[in-house]
Structure 1
Amino acid sequence: MECTFPEAPEVPTTQFRGEKEIGDNNAWTLYIDGSVTAERSGAGLILSSPDGLTIQQAITFTFKVTNNQAEYEALLSGLKLAKSLRVKCLIIYSDSQILVKQTNGEYIVKDPKLAQYQAMVRVILETIPDTTILQINGEENSKADELSKLVQNTSDLSSSVYFEELGAPSSDRPEVLCISSPDNWMTPYIAYLKGGTLPEDQNKARYLKYKATRFFLESNQLYMRIFSAPTLKCVDQDEADYCFREVHEGICGDHLAAKALAYKVIRQGYYWPTIHADAVAYVKNCSKCQKFSNVPK
């Protein structure tokens, strides 16, 4: 399926943060906004590359959120998308004064829930070398605001807009919280392949040496060799969650069952050790699968 993207919103050619001029032609731009009313709540984001590629996403929440939480959900989704695309320079635009000033360290985060969101934001920001977040007025952020309100009527969503439904706050989802750890399942393999570092336990060291024969490093990225498929790129839990979302319910997703979902992700060239168990858990937590899938007798 060929996907087309609309034109990116116009970005001011020159913005200032203190004495720093923001006008980098190599920077990606991210517009975010959250919208909460008595009838519905949602968020919208627009990520644009320097060469004009634009990704739009509309998010709906099936749980109660405040305006500030909706803004943070939009920021987290945008940052995870930018991280998965290996963005190196990112300028973020938001009309939320609290979000911008808390992220810039000008406001203290007193609310415990927002503190969890802010901690997750800072973890992802560390993976993007150059980031700047700026506050803009509502008129400049109208495109993201429109996306955040599209969730009221999903039939208005065009094929060029990614639609996502969140059933629980990101701060309560363990698969997202685990990104706060700098180490992951790949760390022992990378350490061994780079410098021959092995665990002190002899059994663990022997097992690692045996398993490491199937892995190799290229440009500091870990890959795995298998006989039944092309070389697989190894990913951490954050990237694994993004893979599941795109394959299972993304713009070309068809809500596959757990086994089919795991094998399709592998055929796309990605791997992590718990992929099959994670696929089962992911399908069980998909609200649409639970509502509309066939019920066995």
Structure 2
Amino acid sequence: MAEYEACIIGLRAAIEQGIKTLEVYGDSALVIYQLRGEWKTRNPKLINYRKVVLGLLGEFDDITFNYIPRDENQMVDALATLASLIRVNKEEEMRPIQMSIFEASASCCNIKEEEKDDNPWYQDILQYVRDRKYPEQATENDKRTLRRLACDYVLDGDILYKRRKDQVLLRCVDAVEAKLILEEVHEGVCGTHANGFTMARQIMRFGYYWSTMEGDCINYAKKCHKCQIYGDKIHDHLHLYML
């Protein structure tokens, strides 16, 4: 129902703006295919919602509904999170927000710079957890950020662990160890040439962690020669059915 409510709010906002041609994208296959008439609406609670949406369609000259997988719809999640952080006064005119998309997250760029000084990515966190010392020339904002990050880490002897939300401890590894782990998990003795997301989950189950793990796993899988050659053939006979 929440997906239908969001759709209704969006359509009404478009109508108020005088928009006549609209492309609607949603990550709920149920809602999108019901509105396109490809799936029947059997749930009594959804029938009324669908009627409201269909009643609004007459306000548009041309409108299409397109399904987009949830893992490809991350921009919407980011915008929703951003919207929840902004308080807007009704009398205040909202200025446009300029956004840029990079191939790698900002944290990845920062960590690559840190690796150049032969120190692991977690060096500042380790130093603070062990000695309660800040890096040289650290600003007050840097210090606050470091204190916040350090709350999720535990030091046992000389080994630093990342504490997950379920309190499971993952050993932090540097770039050299991370490369060996990637090779072993993806194409080692027990490697399955899994995709990046699956690799990241497997590595965490094995008890290891580094801050760019997910991005590194995705890039490693993309560059794997065997995956590029045989990847499509593996799924040639895979079909999905919905009852």
Structure having greater relative contact order (Cα 8 Å, sep ≥ 6): 1
> Normalized per residue, which structure has more helix?
2
TM-score, normalization by structure 1: 0.38
> Normalized per residue, which structure has more strand?
1
Rg larger in structure: 2
